[in-house]
Amino acid sequence: MMIWKILGDCLPTSGKMYFLNNPDRHCLLCNSETEDAFHLIAKCNVTRGLWFKSKWGLRLDSMGWNNVMDFGKWWTNLSDHELLIFSACLYDTIWFWRNNIFHNHCSWDTHLIYNDCLKCFVEFSSSDVVIEANEEDRHLLEKKDWTTAMPKNTTTFTVDASVAEGWVGIAAINSMGTLLWITA
Ligand SMILES: [Zn+2]
């Protein structure tokens, strides 16, 4: 969603909201330039740091992006599915934190933003994606395995339900695919 807002130039950045008479339109993350969409996606030192820290080690200054559309062309032509998801998570997280700082004046650091970015990436990645990470970040990438965390003699099962014409149907299937319970 964030990516489409960037590409559609409808991100309500400080630089864009000049009519609010806000005297300070500097980027809330790096405080070095006027905050606009292109600054946030490509020029901000925080964004650059996060990209470089990622497993792709991207150096944004060597991407040859001169405007939002250059970024858009790069993003829409990505064939690396993981990179596609990671970039969406990265920009989503940056925007979340930018708003958090703007509205709540909360304290932050790049490590905190990067951790949130990784959590988002894990959430949106398919379970068979193999993620490479350094030792420090590895624990953030571990998906919780509820089956091993469960006490012994406990059964895990999947539940599905549907509602139609005032009736509710519920079914429970265990991990072996056996139907344990059905009711309507
Ligand atoms: Zn910045």
**For 72-103, how does the pLDDT look when each residue is reduced to its tens digit (9 = 90+)?**
999 999 999 999 999 999 999 999 999 999 89
pTM exceeds cut of 0.95: no
For residue 36, report the distance from its CA to the centre of ligand 1, in Å. Answer: 9
The tens digit of pLDDT for each residue in 37-54 reads 999 999 999 999 999 999
In this structure, what token pair is assigned to residue 72? Answer: 């858009």
pLDDT at 39: 95
For residue 90, report the distance from its CA to the centre of ligand 1, in Å. Answer: 14
For residue 46, report the distance from its CA to the centre of ligand 1, in Å. Answer: 6
For residue 86, report the distance from its CA to the centre of ligand 1, in Å. Answer: 20
For residue 95, report the distance from its CA to the centre of ligand 1, in Å. Answer: 11
For residue 24, report the distance from its CA to the centre of ligand 1, in Å. Answer: 13
The tens digit of pLDDT for each residue in 52-67 reads 999 999 999 999 999 9
- What is the distance between the alpha carbons of residues 93 and 27, in angstroms, rounded to a whole number? 15
Percent of residues in the chain assigned helix, strand, coil, to nearest 5: 45, 10, 40
pLDDT confidence band for 151 (50 / 70 / 90): low
pLDDT at 158: 53
Q: Do 85 and 125 touch, CB atoms closer than 8 A?
A: yes
Task: Please list the alpha-helical segments (H only) found in 1-106.
Answer: 2-7, 37-38, 45-53, 68-76, 81-104
For residue 39, report the distance from its CA to the centre of ligand 1, in Å. Answer: 6
Q: Region 65-71: what's the mean pLDDT?
A: 94
Q: Region 156-172: what's the mean pLDDT?
A: 52
**Cβ count near 159 (within 10 Å):** 10
Give the long-range contacts of residues 122-127, CB within 8 A, separation 24 or more: 124/85, 124/88, 124/89, 125/82, 125/85
Give the long-range contacts of residues 154-159, CB within 8 A, separation 24 or more: 155/180
For residue 47, report the distance from its CA to the centre of ligand 1, in Å. Answer: 7
For residue 117, report the distance from its CA to the centre of ligand 1, in Å. Answer: 17
The yes-or-no verdict on residue 142 having pLDDT over 50 is yes
Place of tokens 């990784």: 118
The yes-or-no verdict on residue 12 having pLDDT over 60 is yes
Q: Which residues surround ligand 1, an ion (CB under 5 A)?
A: 27, 29-30, 44
Highest mean pLDDT range out of 4-8, 89-93, 159-163?
A: 89-93
